[in-house]
Structure 1
């Protein structure tokens, strides 16, 4: 919105009553008109236009805690904590452009580090607390970080992982730093004034395809997609948000940014599992719930009671597109306004994005009466200038032709830190390749079929793993999480055959054989490729998960690559193979004996 039109609109905006922490309509329109507002300085703009700096804003729920354990932060608390951390970093010689690792499970501390480092022009390199310390050490070494703040119990393992790398200038435990008094003066220029392309964050990918990639986010770029949401994110006087994104993830930072800017009271969760989120919903009573699809699938598997979601109007998910079976259940819960009255049913904002995108770039809004499923991710967000589908040669494809999704948008990462080759390979004709396979229909809606690394090349042609997972979730309510991958096909070893690794609810009493038969019946009915086998985990999970809770398909592929070639023990997981695969396995097992007898004769 142009500044002139905003000023003209401000004159006609009526004064409305909001809660003490909320920014009213006038303040939000002024923020929207502020060109220099970005990811590096939003706190100071929020302070300038805040209604009550002492009003509760963030409510931090520590691990294993309940409502009595919540630590409350106001806008003034954020300002004071940011300044205190900034003094400490400045005393350590941290200055403009330095990379500093932030490796803590304390979500609010992680956010304050983000604010403090940006306030002195440094660049936070934030790491998910679930990352293995050795991997974190190698990752930070690649970034040439000058130092790291880390939870005390991870400090030793992290330093051990740096034995063959340049040592940090400083290391600090999060606990000691938090308890330390302010150290020394602030920089002569405080807060630092960011240019449009100044880096404000280095955020790693989920690592599902290997060593996490280091996506760089810029001051203006990282905030570009958030500007419109200043006016669209639910933020009335009774709205409250529950943040089930990891606070250390770029998605978590995004919604904490928005909460700060518009003054939306937010419960910051340290755990994203369904049981913990459901428990918090019962007493926090949020109207907006944000999280990755795995959190919502666990909520459904647990049978989230309607009373816990009674106030929910909006569910917000990003990263991978969500599955129909989970969305349909969630939109039946909660409430929405229609003709001035509350009606049953909520809305689910399903966003397809990735770490490199800076935000979800495709959005499908589901409601109790919508029917745009079938892996539909909806239309490109308004911030996206163009979106299309390429073939493998870089030619644009027409409607209903499956290829590689690409976008042209100001929200895309500035690039991968220190890896110009990877950055260059991700760009084609000025478009950023998202790493997804899909198509668009005649109406301009896009569909997400798979990640490029997860497409299964079978004897019958390509099989898209997400389309099989979609049917599995619809057919089997006991499945909490699912990963379909390709393993070596014993009939044609140069091809792959699809199998599924499933995580089930504890109460599931189906055998692997029963479940495999049930799934393949559903896949046949849907016209999809059947599974050759499946492995299931109940109770304690034995299926590899990434730092954000996503199943690591790369590791699943490696672990079960020869599942159809051998019946060796699979580490306590229950395994089932189709009768055809069992027959092939018996034939393979018999071959060495036949060859040995012939040699003996």
Structure 2
């Protein structure tokens, strides 16, 4: 058999092989259910045949409206086994945004978690879908699990080709209409192959499988590990589960990491089993990271990447030194097989220390935006992805993210980098978290606003924080307004929802005006 005709094996087939090595071990745990590796493997094969019997074909989009269920993982694997691109909806988006996404990616089959049956009915009333299949009995559509139970569990040879679209991810809709980001099966295989080999992984998934937690689940299953699924993030439940299930790997966005440390049970919880606590997805506070290192030990691992770019850099556990806050501000060193250039507005490479746009070239970079060639051409130029992130490289090769180009606030006299201002606010001993964002005034000039979460019992006020910012960063960085909130609103992925904060600030400003 020549190389040209050799069967391409996707990440799904590699993972199914791993599941077949020890079929009796626990592969997925959800509440009181324990699904063995053999059961999960058989379900994927049965489900692939059931989808095929329903008329789903290679290249047709399968959209998941599903929570963190074992069957959600099986459905994604089954659709990918057929060579179908999979689009997993964020469940906390509005029905209108979800319907637009379902329509945009030309969904052929919508697979539904029974918990979201009502939302599925609303979506399909707005956007008809040829096939609606449910992971259980429901009036919304046929029971996919019942259909799968009638099919053979014999291995199903994957139909995907390397260049086929494997995954369609969306930006989440926090900055406008979501963009559909397409990655190929070859890229999915490469991402999994580039991750460090580890054995005995017991991964806790407590954020949506539609985001980075889905990758963590794949890595655990590919290494003959176990995935423990929570429906949503609850700090107390996470702390309990880490001890009970001897969790070794956990992914959290920084705001959720802070909630974990601030929980009343944190000092009593047994987290000794943790080997790698990966965080990323939004800006983090060096002061809080230093506290996390002291609490969890040398297990923190920062991952910087984008859906468009894949992985870019990592700050390894050994670089998490509480005595070096400047290192904790960085996103670590560039990953193997990834090239990074810092460029100015004219596209010229900048020397170490100078701020510019982070541009990336690697095999992980997306194919493009779904059927948006003009938008794709804007960010993919000459083989380089223009990330829209502002940052710099230091003399040692560490990358520091300063801001998103869209989040950078243009004010009279210059630019305010929101991450830098958040670092200043978070350094106050009475501040837990902050989010900085721009709000246009009546003349459409941007004003700096901040939402701040105080520590319990704190009496810090707006004037004191503004004075501190003025002293440390100057009047250009001084917020025009600081509001105190009990908690920052988060997106479905767990990032501070600056779009919501911005709209609330605009409403308040209009009311006060």
- Which one of the candidate residues 75, 92, 100 is aligned to 1:113? 75
Quickly say closer, same or farther: Cα 1:517–1:306, change in 2 above 3 A: farther
User: Would you say the 8 A contact 1:230–1:261 is kept in 2?
Assistant: no
Structure 2: distance between partners of 1:209 and 1:158 = 24
Structure 1 residue 257 displacement after superposition: 1.4
Q: Does structure 2 retain, via aligned residues, the 8 Å contact 1:37–1:45? A: no
What per-residue deviation string (whole Å, max 9, x for no partner) do you get for residues 82-114 of structure 1?
A: 123223212210011111111011332221111
* Structure 1 residues 98 and 203: CA distance shift in structure 2, 3 A: same
**Contact 2:43-2:153 within 8 A present in 1 as well:** no
1:496 aligned residue? 446
Superposition pairs for residues 161-180 of structure 1, below 5 Å? 161-163=123-125, 165=127, 167-176=128-137, 177=143, 179-180=145-146
Q: Secondary structure at the match of 2:332?
A: strand
Q: Is the 8 A contact 1:120 1:187 kept in 2?
A: no
Contact 1:275/1:298 (<8 A) preserved:
no
* Partner Cα distance (1:112, 1:387) in 2: 35
1:473 and 1:364 mapped to 2: Cα distance?
Answer: 20
Query: Where do 1:372-391 residues align within 5 Å?
Result: 372-373=326-327, 375-384=329-338, 386-391=339-344
Q: Which of 462, 475, 478 is residue 530 of structure 1 equivalent to?
A: 478
Matched, 1:419 2:365: no
Cα separation, 1, equivalents of 2:457 and 2:221: 46
The alpha-carbon distance between structure 1 residues 110 and 383, as it changes in their structure 2 partners (threshold 3 A), is farther
Distance 1:173 1:477 in 2: 48
Q: Is contact 2:58-2:159 (8 Å) kept?
A: no
| Residue of structure 2 equivalent to 1:143 | 105
> Which residue, 366, 378, 389 being the options, matches 1:436?
389
Is 1:353 the equivalent of 2:353? no
For 1:516, the equivalent position in structure 2 comes to 462
For the residues of structure 2 that align with 1:186 and 1:310, how far apart are their CA atoms? 43
Q: Does residue 1:221 correspond to 2:187, yes or no?
A: yes
Deviation per CA, 1:184-224, whole angstroms, max 9, x where unpaired? 65799932243222222212222221122211121121232
Q: What SS is found at the alignment partner of 2:163?
A: coil
Match of 2:25 in 1: 55
- Contact 1:202–1:214 (8 Å) recurs in 2: yes
Alignment partner for residue 274 of structure 2, among 312, 325, 335? 312
Q: Quick one: distance in 1 between partners of 2:68 and 2:204?
A: 16
**How many residues are aligned here?**
497
Scaled by the length of structure 2, the TM-score of the pair is 0.88
- The one of 361, 373, 383 equivalent to 1:408 is 361
Q: Is the CA contact 2:202–2:220 (under 8 Å) kept in the aligned structure 1?
A: no
Q: Which has the larger radius of gyration?
A: 1
1:215, 1:415 within 8 Å by CA — same for their partners in 2?
Answer: yes
User: In 1, distance between residues paired with 2:395 and 2:229?
Assistant: 41
CA–CA distance in 2 between the matches of 1:186 and 1:53?
A: 17
| Aligned equivalents of 1:201, 1:276: Cα separation in 2 | 30
How far is 1:532 from its partner?
A: 1.9
With over 3 angstroms needed to count, the CA separation of the structure-2 counterparts of 1:503 and 1:42, relative to structure 1, is: farther
Q: For residues 187 and 306 of structure 1, what CA distance do their matches in structure 2 show?
A: 45
2:17 corresponds to: 45
Give the Cα–Cα distance (whole angstroms) in 2 for the partners of residues 151 and 259 of structure 1: 23
Contact 2:45 2:154 in 1 (8 A): no
1:453 aligns with 2:425: no
Give me the whole-angstrom Cα distance separating, in 1, the residues matched to 2:34 and 2:454.
Answer: 36
Between stretches 405-414 and 196-205, larger displacement belongs to 196-205
Task: Give the direction of change, closer, same or farther, for the CA distance of 1:310–1:520 in structure 2 (3 Å limit).
Answer: farther
Give me the whole-angstrom Cα distance separating, in 1, the residues matched to 2:154 and 2:369.
31
What is the deviation of 1:321?
4.3
Match of 1:16? none
Q: Distance in 2 between matches of 1:395 and 1:185?
A: 58
The answer as to whether partners of 2:50 and 2:144 remain within 8 angstroms in 1 is: no
1:290 paired residue among 251, 257, 263: 251
8 Å CA contact 2:84–2:160 kept in 1: the answer is no
Report if the CA contact (8 A) 1:111-1:248 is conserved.
Answer: no
Deviations 1:526-551 (A, max 9, x none): 3262222112222xx6x653221222
- Residues of 1 paired with 2:157 and 2:73: CA distance? 16
CA distance 1:357–1:120, change in 2 (3 Å): same
Query: Cα–Cα, structure 1 residues 544 and 230, in superposed 2: closer, same or farther, change >3 Å?
Result: closer
Partner of 2:221: 260
C-alpha root-mean-square deviation of aligned residues, in Å?
2.8
Residue pair 1:91, 1:183 contacting (<8 A) in 2 also: no
Paired residue for 2:176? Answer: 210
Structure 1 residue 79: Cα displacement: 0.8
Match of 1:363 among 311, 314, 323: 314
CA distance in 2, matches of 1:409, 1:202: 19
The answer to whether 1:326 aligns with 2:288 is yes
Q: Provide the secondary structure at the position in 2 that maps to 1:388.
A: strand
For the 8 Å contact 1:347–1:368, the answer to whether it is kept is no
